[in-house]
Amino acid sequence: MKEFFEKISKIDRRIIYLLVFISITIPLLIKKGFEFEALPEVKNAYEFIEKLPTGSRVLISIDYDAASMPELQPLLEVMLVHLFKKDLKVIMMGHWPLGLPLGQIALEKIAKEMKKEYGRDYVFLGYRPGIAAVMLNMGKEIRMVFDVDYKGTPIDSLPLMKNVHNYNDIALLIGFEAGAVGDYWVQFAQARYGQKIILTSTAVVAPDLYPYFQAKQIEGLIGGLRGAADYENLLKRRGFAYSGMTAQTIIHVIILIFIIIGNIGFIALRRIK
Amino acid sequence: MKKGVPLFITFISGFILIVALFIPHEPFGSLQERFNDWYIIVSGFTLILGIDSLLAYHYRKIKRKEKEAPYSFALLLTFIITLLWGIYSGIKHGNPFAPTSTFLRYFYTYVFVPLQATMFSLLAFFIASAAYRAFRARGLNATLLLISAGIVMLGRVPKGEDFSPYFIAVTFILIAIVCILEALPRISIYERVLFFGLAIISLILIFPIGIFLKTKLPLLSDWIMNVPQLGAKRGLFIGISLGAIAMALRIILGIERTYLK
């Protein structure tokens, strides 16, 4: 009996890896999902965007890189679809230089799909170093930080940017966060300039952002793949995030089963000793 | 003098920025903008400094023929390839990340992105293995953490509530077994009755708690996220912020000087 409990409390990690691999890949390949209700914080974000008047300008900040791409890229794409569908104007920038091209790829892809024109419907500003200083200067005059777009075109020559000077001219800021930049947006853009913000983040960052949502400092919070799946559901455009939730459900269940097995072995061995 | 000048600059810069926060009018308002401009420029140069430091570190490793020299060589080689390819694409397409750029299409999309995504996705395997090994009910605190983690893990995924009664059944049956094992060797009749009673209660609780979790698990998970989790997070944030303010004041007033070393 002791040997059995020792065995179950020390399962070979390769068996765990194999089960994790199978339980992630099969649901992703089958692409079948469950039905579920959207989280209230995601509903808030969706409804806030729904209520924005046509033509409002939305600033998107890309603050993640390829490591967080599976969680945030599907959400970025579905949110861009929503924004363009509502005929809102998108201004994109970012604080993570290595992830910025991901934003650009998604923007170009969705803009092409929705037949939107660069300079009139969307603009890509790029990256400037100095997170807090960039945010503070944008509150005074965006041209102090971005006088040209990523191609080097002066922003005054872009119709979308003509009357955009600071946060007063931006209806909403959406931050895609894989680190602490979301805190800076709340501290500098919201607290100081009253900018309306929706934060989206990886699941691991989301608990850090809940205090801002509960304190009504942000209009909505979309965390992790679940948030992205909720948004896809709300927009009735199911994609990678939705099918990814099946994999996430199965992997959570498997991890819990392993935790229970490990604890059975642990408790039993403690008693035997 | 060597330390006096940097300390004076730090004091003046910090003092002006604090004053500008409360008095955004002239001359403080424009001074803050100028400081921010300088900060952006200095931040740009720190990137160059970082590259210099990284290259020098790995060049030294190659020169000394250290054990990890092949990795350093790979780093230097890929750095040069990335730089040259980026410059070439920048000249040809006006921007290395232009949609038609080969740098974006081949290097970034097919090399850099998969490499970085692979590194991070390995975390799924390590977390699963680490959770199995480390998440043990060693005491009351660890057990509470374990229960909360289980509720949140199931409550945040679709159909998690449907799985919860099974987990509850297994957990409570285990508790009952532990109680019975605990009761058997006892000599005192009272202790025996107590442990057998606890075992029976555990078995009886399976059904109501299972039903409760099946209907209320997402709500319970939301409550954990919105009440105890937020309370702990706020406490942490307040502590961190007070620490940051204290550290900033120490630096501005010249008490903390380690950054000068």
ipTM of the complex: 0.80
- Which one of A24, A39, A256 has the shortest CB-CB distance to B167? A256
Looking up residue A179, the CATH number of its domain turns out to be: 3.40.50
Give the model confidence (pLDDT) of A71-122 as tens digits: 899 999 999 999 999 999 999 999 998 889 999 999 999 999 999 999 999 9
Of residues B60, B58, B83, B85, the one with CA closest to residue B73: B58
Is residue A35 a part of any domain in this protein? no
Residue A228 inside a domain? The answer is yes
For residue B108, pLDDT over 80 is answered with: yes
In-domain check, residue A234? yes
Which residue in the set B98, B113, B128 is minimally distant from A16, CB to CB?
Answer: B128
pLDDT of residue A133 exceeding 70: yes
pTM greater than 0.90 (yes/no): no
Please give the residue of chain B at the shortest CA–CA distance from A41.
B222
How far away is chain B from the Cα of A218, in angstroms, using its nearest Cα? 15
The predicted model gives B124-134 an average pLDDT of 90
Region for B7 from its dihedrals, namely left if φ exceeds 0, alpha if ψ lies in -120 to 50, beta otherwise: alpha
Cβ contacts of B209 within 8 Å, gap of 6 or more: B168, B172
Q: What is the mean pLDDT of residues B110-115?
A: 90
Choose the weakest-confidence range: A94-98, A112-116, A132-136, B175-179.
B175-179
B53 in contact with A, Cβ within 8 Å: no
Q: What is the pLDDT of residues B229-252, one digit of tens each?
A: 889 989 998 999 999 999 999 999
Distance of CA A212 to the CA centre of its chain: 16
Size of interface A-B (CB pairs under 8 A): 166
Total tally of structural domains belonging to chain A:
1
Cα A250 from Cα B151, distance rounded (Å): 15
Residues of B in contact with A37 (CB under 8 A): 218
The A122-127 sheet, strands edge to edge: A122-127, A89-94, A57-63, A172-177, A197-201, A220-223
Give the three-state DSSP class for A198: strand
CB contact under 8 A, B137 and A267: yes
Work out the minimum CA distance from A142 to partner chain B, whole angstroms.
12
Looking at the partner chain, which of B39, B157, B160 has a beta carbon nearest the beta carbon of A133?
B39
Whole-number percent of chain A with pLDDT over 90: 68
A201 part of a folded domain: yes
Tell me the pLDDT band of B1, cut-offs 50, 70 and 90: low
Chain B, nearest residue to A226 by Cα: B157
Exposed/middle/buried for residue A266 (C-beta within 10 Å: 0-12, 13-18, 19+): middle
| Chain B residue whose CA is closest to A133 | B36
C-alpha distances (whole Å) from A145 to each of A132, A137, A138, B103 are: 12, 7, 7, 26
Window from A164-173, A180-189, B147-156, B174-183 with minimum mean pLDDT: B174-183
B184 has pLDDT over 70: yes
In chain B, the residue whose alpha carbon lies closest to the alpha carbon of A258 is B132
The CA distance from A53 to the nearest CA of chain B, in Å, is 31
B178 touches A: beta carbon within 8 Å: yes
pLDDT at B166 (0 to 100): 86
Q: What secondary structure letter does DSSP report for A160?
A: G
Q: B97 vs A140: CB contact, 8 Å cut-off?
A: no
pLDDT grade for B58, boundaries at 50, 70 and 90: very high
| Cα–Cα dist B206/B165, whole Å | 8
pLDDT for B105 equals: 80
Q: Is residue A222 part of a domain?
A: yes
Mutate: best of A256, A260, A267, A272, partner B, most B CBs <10 A: A256
Domain assignment present for residue A262? The answer is no
Residue A199's SS3 state is: strand
Q: Considering CB atoms only, which of A11, A134, A207 is closest to B40?
A: A134
**What's the confidence (pLDDT) of residue B156?**
85
Helices (H), B135-227: 140-155, 160-183, 189-226
A113 found inside a domain = yes
Which domain range does residue A125 map to? 40-241
Alpha-carbon distance values, A221 to A42, A73, B228, B236 (Å):
6, 16, 18, 20
In a domain, A250, yes or no: no
Interface of B with A in 186-215 (CB under 8 A): none
For residues B148-156, give the mean pLDDT. 89
* 8 Å CB contact between A197 and A175: yes
What percent of chain A lies above the pLDDT cut of 70? 99
Cross-chain residue pair B97–A256, CB shorter than 8 Å:
no
